């Protein structure tokens, strides 16, 4: 059986579930699970409803730096703070499949993408500029508490399970407001993403909190009591958090606030 589950970021509206079901049903027809999750994330990167690719939020300096990752059992690729590409998730896949490395960051990641033939693309939008203006007010009050109170919608993710073979992918413009150079959980295996031993997970939420918790690895370790453990984590957190994935054949969608999600099987 082929299955795929997507999220549009914690904080995104459930009204987008129908759209994500549609993206899931398109993506499931791609070759393998990695093809499917990359296709699904690309649909969301190209859709202004979501904070990734063309819908990315801006950093405090007005720049857009994006993170993305892909993972399969025993392989991983990510790009960190990449700029001027349309589909960071595709570059993350190329890092995994065509480079000797697993992570590339900053201008090295952008240069790698250009060398791979990705055209120069500016994802800045008026909506991102407006949102940055709105968030500056909060950011200047107390830089240690940039995140609580912000209605942040962040990250898109997908996990596919094709006859027990699992792949996951994530992409984000980050958790606004944030400094240039800040790195969230999306490109870090064990934090925002994990595929291991029949378990696959793609997280969303405030990256700093997800990294501190090593959320994906923590849930993998507790997968025999996944829902109960999630309740303990989510109910005790002041931060927005969400995950989708597969625990063997069973899909899961867990979030402590609204989170658009989609699912398809074939």
Site for ligand GLY, rule CB under 6 A? 154-155, 172, 174-175, 184-186, 204-207
Q: Single out the catalytic residue among 155, 172, 186, 204.
A: 155
Measured from each CB, the residue nearest to ligand GLY is 184
Q: How far is CA 127 from the centre of its chain?
A: 20
Query: How far is residue 21 from each of residues 73, 160, 168, 170, 224, measured CA to CA in Å?
Result: 25, 13, 17, 17, 27
- Strands 156-162 and 259-265, bridge-based pairing: unpaired
Select from 86, 148, 152 the least CA-distant residue to 119: 86
CA-to-CA separations, 165 to 21, 144, 157, 197, 266, in angstroms, rounded: 21, 41, 17, 10, 14
In the complex with ligand GLY, the residue whose CB is nearer, 56 or 90, is: 56
If the CB atoms of residues 24 and 146 are measured against ligand GLY, the closer one turns out to be 146
Minimum separation from the CB atom of position 45 to ligand GLY (A): 14
**Least distance in angstroms from the C-beta of 64 to ligand GLY:** 13
Q: Is 98 a catalytic residue?
A: no
Nearer to ligand GLY, 172 or 256 (CB): 172
Shortest approach of ligand GLY to residue 226 CB, angstroms?
20
Minimum CB separation of residue 210 from ligand GLY in Å reads 6
Q: State which residue, 51 or 247, has the beta carbon closest to ligand GLY.
A: 51
Q: Is 246 exposed, middle or buried (0-12, 13-18, 19+ CB in 10 A)?
A: buried
Closest to ligand GLY by CB, 47 vs 154, is: 154
**How far, in Å, CA of 113 to CA of 35, rounded?**
18
Where residue 125 falls (left for φ over 0; alpha for ψ -120 to 50; beta otherwise) is beta
Q: Least Å distance between CB 202 and ligand GLY?
A: 10
Residues in the chain: 266
3-state secondary structure labels for all residues of 48-68: CCCCCHHHCCCCCCCCCCEEE
Positions marked active-site = 155
């Amino acid at each position: 059986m082929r299955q795929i589950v997507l999220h549009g970021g914690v904080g995104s509206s459930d009204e987008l579930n129908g759209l994500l079901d549609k993206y899931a049903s398109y993506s499931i027809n791609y070759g393998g699970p990695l093809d499917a999750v990359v296709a699904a994330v690309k649909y969301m990167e190209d859709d202004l409803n979501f904070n990734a690719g063309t819908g990315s939020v801006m950093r405090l300096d007005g720049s857009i730096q994006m993170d993305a990752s892909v993972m399969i059992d025993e392989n991983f690729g990510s790009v960190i703070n990449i700029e001027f590409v349309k589909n960071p998730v595709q570059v993350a896949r190329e890092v995994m499949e065509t480079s000797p490395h697993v992570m590339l960051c900053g201008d090295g990641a952008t240069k790698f993408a250009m060398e791979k033939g990705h055209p120069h693309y500016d994802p800045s939008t008026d909506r991102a500029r407006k949102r940055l203006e709105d968030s500056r007010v909060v950011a200047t009050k107390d830089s240690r508490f940039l995140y609580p109170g912000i209605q942040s919608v962040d990250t898109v993710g997908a996990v596919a399970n094709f006859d027990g073979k699992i792949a996951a992918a994530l992409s984000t413009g980050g958790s606004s407001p944030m400094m240039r150079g800040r790195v969230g959980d999306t490109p870090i295996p064990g934090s925002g993403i994990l595929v291991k031993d029949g378990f696959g997970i793609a997280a969303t939420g405030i990256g700093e909190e997800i990294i501190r918790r090593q959320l994906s690895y923590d849930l993998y370790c507790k997968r025999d009591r996944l829902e109960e453990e999630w309740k303990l984590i989510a109910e005790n957190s002041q931060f927005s958090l969400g995950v989708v994935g597969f625990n063997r054949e069973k899909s899961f969608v867990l979030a402590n606030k609204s989170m658009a999600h989609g699912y398809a099987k074939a």
